[in-house]
Amino acid sequence: YLATVGLLGIEETFWSGLLYLLWYNLMFVLPLILLFIFAYNLTAARTISHIVGAFGTKARYVSCAAMIIIGVLLLTWLMFR
């Protein structure tokens, strides 16, 4: 974030820095705002709590497998690029 703000200070990279900053806010801050809105709504919070209770163990295994696969792909890409 700090490096992107630094890009805004240089005229040649202002627009690319601004696009990176907007992209960062879209991908990082917007989901947090949406999560806050869903958590504030009690009906949605109860529904999410029910879903997590019903599928929590399966979701944990799926997310664990996804992280391992992403890690292997990243290491493979770094070793053979």
What is the distance between the alpha carbons of residues 4 and 52, in angstroms, rounded to a whole number?
36
- Arithmetic mean of pLDDT, 29-44: 82
Is residue 64 scored above 80 in pLDDT? yes
What is the distance between the alpha carbons of residues 54 and 66, in angstroms, rounded to a whole number?
20
Neighbour-count burial for 63-72, b at 16+ CB within 10 Å, e otherwise: eeeeeeeeee
- Arithmetic mean of pLDDT, 20-47: 83
Q: Is 81 helix (H, G, I), strand (E, B) or coil?
A: coil
pLDDT at 72: 96
pLDDT at 1: 64
pLDDT at 37: 83
pLDDT digits (tens, 9 = 90+) for 42-61: 887 788 788 888 888 888 89
Report the predicted TM-score, pTM, of the whole model to 2 decimal places.
0.44
Task: Take residue 10 and report the two structure tokens written for it.
Answer: 């240089």
